[in-house]
Structure 1
Amino acid sequence: MKIDKLTNIFFSATGTTKKIIKSISKGLNIKEIREIDLTKSNNRERFNLEFQKNELLIIGIPVYAGRVPDFLISILKKLKGNQPVILVSVYGNIDEGLALEQLKDLLGKRGFKIIGAASFIGEHSYSCKEFRIAHGRPDKQDLNQAKKFGEKILSKFIKNSNIKDIPEIKLDIDKSLFSHLLSIILPIISLPQYGSKKFIKKPYLNTNRCNHCQICVELCPMKAIDKKTLKIDDSKCIRCMSCVKNCPQEARKIEYKIPFLVKKFFELNKSNERKTPNIYL
């Protein structure tokens, strides 16, 4: 089966998910690539796609509190088709959660055929100099694994002449206690996804370092930063830390409200142990 076009749909506030998607794309070796970056609010507002017959999709999202970011659900529900799709989640070395299961259910109901899925690790959004979590990931080893994942998907198309001949994957995820509890509670109770606000402050701005380059304003996916004052609207901020990670002057900083409690949480979840990607083919 020949695939002529690849469409990459992703949200990547700190760039980690985008890096993984690009490496998978290299392994697929498809020349025509369309990129839909949902980190940009204008792309989310005008999201409306049509697909060709021999087109492959990759959908990549970060894991927020064990789930697909809630504001992306309504956008992804606009997708319809019968094309093959690869699902990718990126989490911060704590827990891969339920994101892949959510994506598989959502895309499957809309006619797409899930031919591959993977959960990769990226530097945690709350990683900082004082407390590093998966620092520098995805690293060379992660990106090489992502490329090999793409190559394995490519071999599926080479071996099969028709998409119908490619079996749909099963997600045999070894769930943590957190993920098990989440899967039980979510159908019953609507849990707030940004409860981290109780433990993580709005990114602090060092006015002595800031040169008002406006990069934080431009890259904020939720348009939460005022252009003039550079103040953050807490009601819009999702604590993605795009403004911190992308500031060339390092003028913004991550601050924990209760440092001991936050660090204890990460320690209990073995955040210092290197977790490896999970591949589902």
Structure 2
Amino acid sequence: MSLRAIFMAKHKRSAARALEWLVERGVEVRAVVCPADPGDALDAQRVDLVAERYGLALSDDRSLYERIAAGDPELQDVDLVLSFLFWRRIERPLIELPRLYCLNFHPAPLPELRGLGGYNVAILEGYREYGVSCHHVAETIDTGDIVRVVRFPIDPDTETALSLDLRSQEELLALFRSVIDEVIAGHELPRIPQGEGRYVDRAAFEQLRVVRPGDDIERKIRAFWYPPYPGAVIELEGRRFTLVDEGRLRELAAIYRRAGWVP
């Protein structure tokens, strides 16, 4: 009998590939939860398009909770709830729904970097090692027992938030495949308590972006460089402006040239 799963994710290339791999691996996906509005996501990033290609049911998380409460038979024999970069807190009874595991795949090392801003903090604080994590979901975000953390070396003096995300997504997808293969093989997953950790919420993240006296400005620009999102900012006359240095301008110029945007 194949495993039955609920897959929850945001539109990202690694998430789309994770869902595709899950189906090809023989897992029966009973519901896919992803943003209804893909925004400016490319087709290769769109989880909903993968779901449509395989004939999988799309849902939003509120509807999912309502279906669980109503005793929907499609959701009564689920083995796995899988969160891959899902952007909202997972609550009961969804945490307790699966027969085996409710797992989250988090794009930062735990317990050091919970919540937002993993890439940014790692560059700002000069981490020489980064990582991605799989953990059991608890009611408090990113605090559940750890299944596995994969760590890899980085150079905080050259990385940008964007480049570190690109590297991390490949590592996270590999971790996803490895962990799910363990489950498919019938192996019991570890439960390693996290202990004390650090959590960055949205308010703290926004404060980190502001350039203040004494900051290493070049490092701060790299730590928040992730177009088209606002980067490191300065505040002038009640408004915020993203800072750009020559290195980032050269990157953009190279992209423009490859796209044929030249006079």
* Class of the TM-score when normalised by the shorter of the 2 chains: 0.3 to 0.5
TM-score, normalised via structure 2 length: 0.44
Structure with more relative contact order (C-alpha pairs < 8 Å, separation 6 or more) = 1
